Chains A and B, each alone.
Chain A
Amino acid sequence: MTVLNILTYPDERLKRIAEPVRTIDAELRAFVLDLEETMRAGPGGVGIAAPQVGRAQRIVIVDVSNKPKIESHGRLVLVNPDIVKWEGMAVGREGCMSVPDYTGNVIRAEHIVVRALDEQGEEREYTMQGYEARAVQHEVDHLDGMLFLDRLVSRRNDLFRRKVYK
């Protein structure tokens, strides 16, 4: 396994729209292992998307299980992910390995349902919320050439957390 080089903004490759994966094979699985190693090598990284290492394909890894007191699905490899349902909104703080030395507040859906293929090509559907849902939305944005910088909310508009009460 190899730790890959992480592209940092303003590298234009971070602003491209990634292509869907058509073939899931040994080469792709080897890339996923490298991508995962790269994510774990970054300080505090809980997610990574293929475009961050210069591969313009719709592949994302998320693993928030090392954060205490957070519900999660553990290690998730999402190929061609599609968020099919959103609910609620919350402000949370995000940073990005592709944008060093900056963190900012971003509004994301609180609950999502995401459909994707796993690294064996099996169709999967995950229902998730909170921090894990935030991580998936952040990574899926990378596939569409979006950075959290594109979604920053101003400090002043952030006085009270937007939340949908049940």
Chain B
Amino acid sequence: MNKWYMLTVVGKDRPGIVAHLTDALYQGGCNLGEASMMRLGGNFTIMLMVHFDGTIKALDDLIEPVADSLDLHRHIDHIEGHLHEHVVPDVRITVYGADRAGIVAKVTGALAEAGLNILDLESDVAGTADKPIYIMHIEGCAREGVDALRSALDIVAKEGVNVTLSPVETMVG
């Protein structure tokens, strides 16, 4: 039976979260898969594939002491996950501009309609509190070709955001 779980953890950032959490998982007989861990707005966030031969409850019991001592919120889902299923992106898009509501919805809406499947998205708010700028970086697959995405972005760019699209030609050697 497939025993992959997706463990989501969020808590106020402090040193040692990853070390303590993964040690508890290791001691409990878990194997770790792909993960994304990042500090977002002073919180540390974890999305982690965990392979474990027990129930969700048993996995949660393993984590509970660490989560309680570090004040972490956690959530566990059973997933139909597999390793070795990476999809290689063929396009990279960077968007930045003065921060305002709706940038993400507008840009990703236009891109989705033009066939983009997002594999990876990171965004930040930089600048200063009175002049924030929004920066977003996307890697994905252009299922209807890169030109379709370009046309979609041309329209978005007219609204004052700066958009750079580069095809990603992966060199395999």
Contacts and interface: CB of A to CB of B under 8 A. Distances in A.
Interface of A: 42-49, 62, 67, 70, 92-97, 100-103, 131, 134-135, 138-139, 142, 155-156, 158-161
Contact of A103 (B84, B94, B170): B170
Nearest to A92: B171
Contacts of A134: 171
Contacts of A131: 169, 171
Contacts of B107: none
Given A45-B172, A48-B173, A92-B171, 14 more contacts: A46-B173, A47-B171, A47-B173, A92-B168, A94-B171, A95-B88, A95-B173, A100-B84, A101-B84, A103-B86, A131-B169, A139-B173, A155-B122, A159-B137
Contacts of A102: 86
Interface of B: 84-86, 88-89, 94, 120, 122, 135, 137, 166, 168-173
Contact of B168 (A93, A101, A160): A93
A94 B168 CA distance: 10
Given A101-B86, A102-B86, A159 B94 contact: yes
Main SS class of interface, A: mixed
A47 B173 CA distance: 4
Contacts of A159: 94, 122, 135, 137
Contact of B88 (A70, A96, A103): A103
28 contacts: A42-B172, A43-B172, A44-B170, A44-B172, A46-B173, A47-B171, A48-B173, A62-B173, A67-B169, A92-B168, A92-B169, A93-B89, A93-B168, A93-B169, A94-B170, A94-B171, A95-B171, A95-B172, A95-B173, A96-B173, A101-B84, A101-B85, A103-B88, A131-B169, A138-B171, A138-B173, A155-B120, A160-B94
A44 B137 CA distance: 26
A49 B122 CA distance: 35
Nearest to B86: A101
Nearest to A102: B86
